[in-house]
Amino acid sequence: MKTLSKKSSLKKRINSIKKTLLVLTLCLVGIQAVGFDKADRIPPVINSSKVWLPYGETLTGEDLNVTDDSGVDDMINITIDEGDYNSGVLGLYEVYVTASDWMKNSTEKVVEVEVYDAYPPVMAIKDEDATIQVEAGTDFVYGDYISAIDDVDGDVSDQITGDDVDTKKLGGQVIKAKVRDNAGNMTEEEYAIDVEDTVAPVFKFKKGKNAKVGYQAKFDLDDYVDMVDAGDDNATMTVEGDVDTSTLGKVSKLKLTGVDASGNISEETLKVTCADLTAPKLKLKYASATVEMNSTFNPQEFVAKAKDDVDGDLTKKVTTDGVVDTSQSGQYTVTFVVSDKAGNKTTATLDIEVVDDIKATGLINTAKTKLGHAYVWGATGPNVFDCSGFTRWVFAQNGISLPRTAAAQYSATKRVSRGDLRKGDLIFFKGTTGRGGITHVGIYIGDGQFIHAANSGISYNNLSESYYSAHYAGGGRR
Model confidence pLDDT, tens digit, residues 82-123: 999 999 999 999 999 999 998 899 999 999 999 999 999 999
Q: Do domains 202-275 and 281-355 have the same CATH topology?
A: yes
> Does residue 335 register a pLDDT over 70?
yes
Confidence class of residue 261 from pLDDT cuts 50, 70 and 90?
very high
Name the band, by pLDDT with cuts 50, 70 and 90, for residue 1.
very low
* Strand order through the sheet with 50-54: 50-54, 106-116, 91-100, 77-80
pLDDT-derived band at 4, boundaries 50, 70, 90: very low
Q: How confident is the model at residue 6 (pLDDT cuts 50, 70, 90)?
A: very low
For 389, 430, 431, 439, the CA distances from 435, given in Å and listed in that order, are: 19, 8, 5, 8
Residue burial 136-168, b: 16+ Cβ < 10 Å; e: rest: bbeebebbebbbbebbbbeebbebbebbebebe
* Beta strands across the sheet bearing 438-446: 414-416, 472-477, 426-430, 438-446, 449-454, 457-462
- CB neighbour class for 23 (10 Å; exposed up to 12, middle 13-18, buried from 19): middle
Please state, rounded to an integer, the average pLDDT across all residues of the chain: 91
The pLDDT score that the predictor gives to residue 16 is 55
For residue 460, is pLDDT > 60? Answer: yes
**Per CATH, which fold does 281-355 belong to?**
Immunoglobulin-like (2.60.40)
Is the CATH number 2.60.40.10 carried by domain 10-116?
A: yes
Each residue of 19-48: pLDDT tens digit?
555 545 544 544 444 444 456 789 999 999
203-259 pLDDT tens trace? 999 999 999 999 999 999 999 999 999 889 999 999 999 999 999 999 999 999 999
pLDDT at 30: 45
Say whether 452 is catalytic: yes
Determine the residue type at 198: T
Q: Which entry of 274, 373, 452, 471 is annotated as an active-site residue?
A: 452
Fold of 359-477: endopeptidase fold (from Nostoc punctiforme) (3.90.1720)
Per-residue pLDDT, 461: 97
pLDDT of residue 401: 95
Residue 127: pLDDT band with limits 50, 70, 90: confident
58-72, 169-183, 369-383, 444-458: the lowest-pLDDT one: 58-72
Q: How far apart are CA 194 and CA 167, in angstroms?
A: 9
* Mean pLDDT (whole number) for 351-379: 93
* Across 28-37, 46-55, 196-205, 264-273, least confident range: 28-37
178 or 24: whose pLDDT is higher? 178
Q: What is the pLDDT of residue 329?
A: 87
One CATH from 2.60.40.1180, 2.60.40.10, 3.40.50.10540, 2.30.110.10 for 122-196: 2.60.40.10
**Cis bond leading into 201, ω under 30°?**
no
Segments making up each domain of the chain, as ranges: 10-116, 122-196, 202-275, 281-355, 359-477
Name the CATH superfamily housing domain 202-275. Answer: Immunoglobulins (2.60.40.10)
Report percent pLDDT > 90 for the chain.
83
Backbone angles phi, psi at 16, to 5 degrees: -65, -40
Say which residues have a Cβ less than 8 Å from residue 127's Cβ, sequence separation at least 6.
Answer: 133, 145
362 compared with 177, residue with greater pLDDT: 177
pLDDT (0 to 100) of residue 39 = 61
Q: What confidence score (pLDDT) does residue 20 get? A: 54
132-142 average pLDDT score: 94
| Rounded distance between C-alpha atoms, residue 478 and residue 392, angstroms | 12
